[in-house]
Amino acid sequence: MSTRPRSLSLRAPGRRLPAGLLILIALLLAIALERASRHAATPPLEAVAFSDPTHGVGLFVAQGSSRCVASSGSTADGGAQFGRLVVLADWRCAGNPPVSQIATDGRGDAFAYGPGLMVSHDDAATWAGGARPALCSRSRPCAPLSGW
């Protein structure tokens, strides 16, 4: 008597599943996994700025057990869906976030700020750290504008 474990088979002995059925099963599984990963991977929307009723940019913040991540994505359908998210910054969640607000001018420029500054000039596809104005520093903060 053999002690070899028996394997489970989806086909009857001597029968093979049609190739089309196997391709369909694989395709459906791939679609389900892609949708599940996209849904699970989208962090909460913290802020959004629109340049018109349909075009805008969103700021998303994911909170882990010790690290937090801010990311951004653009929308062309009023915020129903956002494109691929781009990481702006990560930090220890116990600290303050480097960016907490977002703005856009509708001409491809976007700004994530508060207290740091990140700048995009390609509709939020890529971001870079922005320079602080020369008249402002930690020891000499910018004075509020008056007369506006």
Chain centroid to Cα 47, Å, comes to: 13
Q: Is residue 134 part of a domain?
A: no
Q: What is the pLDDT of residue 3?
A: 60
Q: What is the pLDDT of residue 145?
A: 47
Which one, of 143, 145, 144, 47, lies nearest residue 103 by Cα?
47
Q: Is residue 34 part of a domain?
A: no
Is pLDDT at 47 greater than 70 in this prediction? yes
Q: How far apart, in Å, are the Cα atoms of 71 and each of 13, 58, 137?
A: 53, 8, 26
Q: In what order do the strands lie in the sheet with 117-120?
A: 101-104, 110-113, 117-120, 128-129
For the ranges 7-11, 41-45, 81-85, the one whose mean pLDDT is highest: 81-85
Q: Is residue 3 part of a domain?
A: no
Taking residues 126-147, report their average pLDDT.
Answer: 61
Q: Full-prediction pTM beyond 0.85? A: no
Q: Is residue 119 part of a domain?
A: yes
Domain span at 65: 43-129
Tell me how many domains the chain contains. 1
DSSP secondary structure code for residue 79 in this structure: T
Within 10 angstroms of residue 5's Cβ, the number of other Cβ atoms is 6
Contact 119, 126 (CB under 8 A): no
pLDDT one-digit tens code per residue, 64-122: 989 999 999 999 999 999 999 999 999 999 999 999 999 999 999 999 999 999 999 99
Q: Which residue has the higher pLDDT, 6 or 102?
A: 102
Is pLDDT at 10 greater than 50 in this prediction? yes
The encoded tokens of residue 144 equal 């509020």
pLDDT one-digit tens code per residue, 13-41: 667 778 777 787 877 777 776 665 545 56
Q: Is residue 88 part of a domain?
A: yes
Q: Is residue 2 part of a domain?
A: no
Q: Is residue 141 part of a domain?
A: no
Q: Is residue 85 part of a domain?
A: yes
Q: What is the pLDDT of residue 132?
A: 52
